[in-house]
Chains A and B, each alone.
Chain A
Amino acid sequence: MMPPVQAPAVKPPKSASGKNLASSASAKPSNAQRASADQANAGPAIIVQGLHKSYGEQKVLNGLNLKVGSGQTVAVLGRSGTGKSVLLRLIIGLQKPDAGTIHIQGQEITSANLEEMNEIRKKMGFLFQHAALYDSLTVEENIAFPLRRHTEMTAAQRSERVQELLASVGMEADLQKMPSDISGGMQKRVGLARALALEPGILLLDEPTAGLDPITSGEIDELILKLQEEREVASIVVTHDLHSAKVIADRIVLLHEGNAVIEGTYDELEKSTDEFVTEFFKRDS
């Protein structure tokens, strides 16, 4: 595992409630989930090999390879339409690749049927680009949704866990609000809390700071850093935000024309002489 990039600009985050995300005994994951986390520690949590995906004539991914170890955060950058979000959708199984394999904690998922895939998905948390909160449910019900579906928790335990998760993203006061009544940044926080509800070993974040002001973006970055500190979560973060990638990612992968042009730490990429990489960094600065 490559050493994480130090981010002196970002202070170590503090939980709003002062609680650890995994503190509640009642909210602990099942034995199966713990076993899968142990399995995850044995090798890379995500292995993507030779991934191809096309839409008609348009080739989006062209033989992409990627490995993410347990506890690692990999930021995926690239121009719009280079398949960053598609990569996440393939990993969570919302779409099937044309060719290539994806292993999640040692399990090959491209040939998995719906029931197998649903079991694998319980090990993953997904934050959608626009949060994708259920608009007919309150903030509380949104976060309780995966808990109600996949755990044996009582209503009281569930409520305690939801409050704990909301406190960890600084939203404990907004329990009964509808998604339409909160801002985009708050929706992202709730989306993140929902993604963490089952204490997944893998976190997939699709542009977590897109469309947010710099202060809210910084707060989201802090949240992700806090997760890295508290838990061994393997994360893939798709972003356009180089600063955010520098702060939260151990490694950065730059996609171009469906493949990884370069992979390394922020400093390594910054020193690269590759024309595309230098252009990308120059534009951002």
Chain B
Amino acid sequence: MSLHANIPRRYTTDDLPQPSVAIRSAAAAIWNPLNSLLEWFGELGMFIWQVMRSTFRRPFEGLELIRQLDEVGSKSLPMVAMAGAAIGAVLALESRHSLIQFGAKSLLPAAVVFSIIHETGPVITALVVCGRVGAGIGAELGSMKVTEQIDAIEASGVNAYKLLAFTRIVACILMMPLLTLAADFAGIITGWLANTLAEPIAFHKFIHAGFAGTGFSDFLAPTFRTMVFGLIIGVIACFQGMRSQGGTEGVGRSATSAVVLSSLFVMLADVILVKLILVFFP
């Protein structure tokens, strides 16, 4: 018999009923992503605050802004115009078939123009810019981050938020409506071309019929909605790039997440903005 047989055992917290491994892992599976999500939003808020703080302080980075306007605007123009053109042609071809079935063929120009101006033009432009510009910004800033170039900018007494983020965000905001106009224009032209191939119609008649029921507010609100899309693309891409870590793999992650998240937020914002536009511009 052991010498300690009569000594009463001391109870510790380990003796209390413990949650099972399954419960603990389930709690962790819920909490960890939630925690990461809250952390991401917190960091995004801090990032936006830093950019906003730098907005009204000198220098205004005019040269860099012009460079970014070129990078975001003119270099995206061919791709945006091509996407708009493709959508316009597809819309005309698809709508024509349906409208003929309902005996409303004469409404085709209006259907194409209205659809492009109201929804497809802005959204297609935003998604193309998400892909081209968002990935570019995410990769460029991510690469600068992991190679300490952003640190070098800060170490030389320059506000990196202003020089890198502010200029890119403003360029996205200013260029989005112009790119949307280009996509709309290309879409309407190819819509007319697709329609003309099936049944010839004069361009001025197509335009006249297309814009017959369209007011200025129909055109203005959706186009300026794209400024919000530009803000979202710029902010998300710059944020993902500037928080990049982990070498080349991290740069790849930044570029991918910039595209995925900005596309996601653009679509989310689209739903909200469409509802708001319907309320304020019935």
Residues of A within 8 A of B (CB): 89, 92-94, 114-115, 118-122, 124, 126, 128-130, 132-135, 145-146, 149-150, 194
Contacts and interface: CB of A to CB of B under 8 A. Distances in A.
Closest 9 interchain pairs by CB?
A121-B157, A132-B148, A132-B152, A126-B155, A118-B157, A122-B157, A146-B156, A92-B155, A128-B148
A114 B149 CA distance: 18
Interface in B139-182: 143, 147-149, 151-159
B10 interface: no
A249 B154 CA distance: 27
B57 interface: yes
A114 B159 CA distance: 8
A146 B154 CA distance: 11
A146 B157 contact: yes
B157 A134 contact: no
Contacts of B152: 126, 128, 132-134
A121 B148 contact: no
A135 B147 contact: yes
Nearest to B148: A132
A149 B157 contact: yes
13 contacts: A94-B155, A114-B50, A114-B53, A115-B57, A121-B154, A121-B155, A122-B157, A128-B151, A129-B148, A133-B152, A135-B149, A150-B156, A150-B157
Contacts of A124: 155
A134 B149 contact: yes
B160 to A, nearest CB: 10
Tier of interface size on chain B = 10 to 19
A191 to B, nearest CB: 8
Of residues A93, A122, A146, which shows the largest number of chain B Cβ atoms within 10 Å of its Cβ? A146
Nearest to B50: A114
Nearest to B143: A135
Contacts, number: 56
Of residues A122, A132, A150, which shows the largest number of chain B Cβ atoms within 10 Å of its Cβ? A132
Of residues B50, B151, B153, B157, which shows the largest number of chain A Cβ atoms within 10 Å of its Cβ? B157
B147 A132 contact: yes
Given A94-B151, A115-B57, A128-B152, 4 more contacts: A118-B157, A129-B148, A133-B149, A135-B143
Of residues A89, A114, A130, which shows the largest number of chain B Cβ atoms within 10 Å of its Cβ? A114
Contacts of A118: 157-159
A194 B57 CA distance: 25
B72 to A, nearest CB: 16
Contacts of A128: 148, 151-152, 155
Contacts of B156: 121-122, 126, 145-146, 149-150, 194
Contacts of B148: 128-130, 132
Contacts of A89: 151
A126 B53 CA distance: 26
Contacts of A93: 154
A119 B156 CA distance: 9
Contacts of B147: 130, 132, 135
Given A114-B159, A115-B57, A118-B159, A94 B149 contact: no
Nearest to B59: A149
A115 B161 CA distance: 12
B143 to A, nearest CB: 8
Contacts of A115: 57
Nearest to B63: A148
Contacts of A121: 154-157
B154 A149 contact: no
Contact of B158 (A126, A129, A135, A149): A149
Contact of B154 (A94, A133, A135, A150): A94
A89 B159 CA distance: 16
Nearest to A197: B156
Of residues A124, A130, A149, A194, which shows the largest number of chain B Cβ atoms within 10 Å of its Cβ? A149
Nearest to A122: B157
A132 B157 contact: no
A119 B157 CA distance: 6
Interface in B72-119: none
B197 to A, nearest CB: 46
